[in-house]
Amino acid sequence: MTWANPEYLWILLFLPLFVFYRLWIYFSKKNASITFSSAVSLKHLPGNYKALLIWASPLFYSIAFILLTLALARPQLQNTSVERTSEGIDIMISIDISSSMLAEDLQPNRLIAAKEVAAEFITQRTTDRVGINVFARESFTVVPPTLDHSLVLNLLETVDLGMVRDGTAIGMGIATSINRLRDSNAESRVIIMLTDGMNNAGEIDPITAGEMAAALGIRVYTMGIGSRGTAPYPVDDPVFGRRYQNVQVNIDEEMLIQIADLTGGQYWRATDLEELIEVYREIDRLEQSEIEEIIYVDYEDRYPNYLLAGLVFLLLAFLNERIFSRSPVFHP
């Protein structure tokens, strides 16, 4: 509820003065002009019940005063509708699924951590189309860019090692993502490429893939995942069961930085889960969809209801004062 003329509400401050005035009149006339030894015999005199209506007129006048003042202030119902248009971003998330992603320097391991943080990122991109690409020795698209984020999240859950032969074909991972974005008419096209190693497979060199992305106006954000130095890697021994050995972490950061620079993106190194989460938050801040809002406001006047009710109470007060509460005249 809003008010078109709220300044008229100040008139309500005069209501206490009216109430005080009526009380003063009532109590100033309270002393009887004729004294009776007993008023019991007057109890059933004709018209005596009308004394109960003494307070009706002041009450009706007060209610009428309030309602008419509210009508002057013009109460309105505000109906608001919002029309939103957005220029979404097409995003391909390319995830390394080579065997080294089983290392547990990120808990529970690199691959599961990468999937969980990517899933949280996807849920935040409500107006953007998101797709998933995975790579090891080969690369393939799990799901192309789509607004059906439930489908993307379900298919992301199925991503696991062994889907393709082992290896690290970073160039192929980028190239497959480019292939899914090249015909997109989105305002912005982005690849988020995550790896924990060095390129050792694939027909396309990573730098060449980066140049292809730059030529098409596609930004590539590269991300190296893994601790510095060594990382615990699980080994299943047929005799002694699962044991861990420390393996060297080798990430070609120079190459990843070069790809990011070529395409106008950025490179980050995530050595633990907290840093990985922060990297995705930074990408989320950098890649904001433009959303335009048009707000339509419609006002519906409600003052006629208050005006009508105020006039009704004004009429009731007048009738009560002139007819209902007047004592009948008796002639001898």
pLDDT in tens, 289-301: 665 556 666 777 7
- Quote the DSSP letter at residue 226: S
Give me 210's structure tokens: 């980066």
The structure's pTM equals 0.64
- Strand 75-87 versus strand 2-3 pairing type: antiparallel
Q: Are 122 and 152 in contact (CB under 8 A)?
A: yes
Mean pLDDT calculated for residue range 197-205: 93
Percentage of residues in the chain having pLDDT higher than 70: 83
Which of the given ranges, 103-107, 287-291, 298-302, has the highest pLDDT on average? 103-107
Which of the pair, 64 or 209, is modelled with greater confidence? Answer: 209
Would you call 146 helix, strand, or coil by DSSP?
A: strand
Exposure of 293 by Cβ count < 10 A (0-12 exposed, 13-18 middle, 19+ buried)? exposed
156, pLDDT greater than 70:
yes
The pLDDT of residue 332: 43
Mean pLDDT calculated for residue range 29-41: 54
Mean residue pLDDT of the chain comes to 84
Q: How open is the CA angle 241-242-244, to the nearest 5 degrees?
A: 140
CA distance 91 to 113: 19
Q: For residue 330, what pLDDT band results from cuts at 50, 70 and 90?
A: very low
- What is the per-residue pLDDT across 231-260, written as a single tens digit (0 to 9) for each? 999 998 777 778 889 999 999 999 999 999
Percentage of residues in the chain having pLDDT higher than 90: 51
Which of the pair, 325 or 154, is modelled with greater confidence? Answer: 154
The pLDDT of residue 174: 97
57, pLDDT greater than 80:
no
Q: Are 85 and 291 in contact (CB under 8 A)?
A: yes
60, pLDDT greater than 90:
no
The pLDDT of residue 267: 97
Which of the given ranges, 29-38, 279-288, 292-301, has the highest pLDDT on average? 279-288
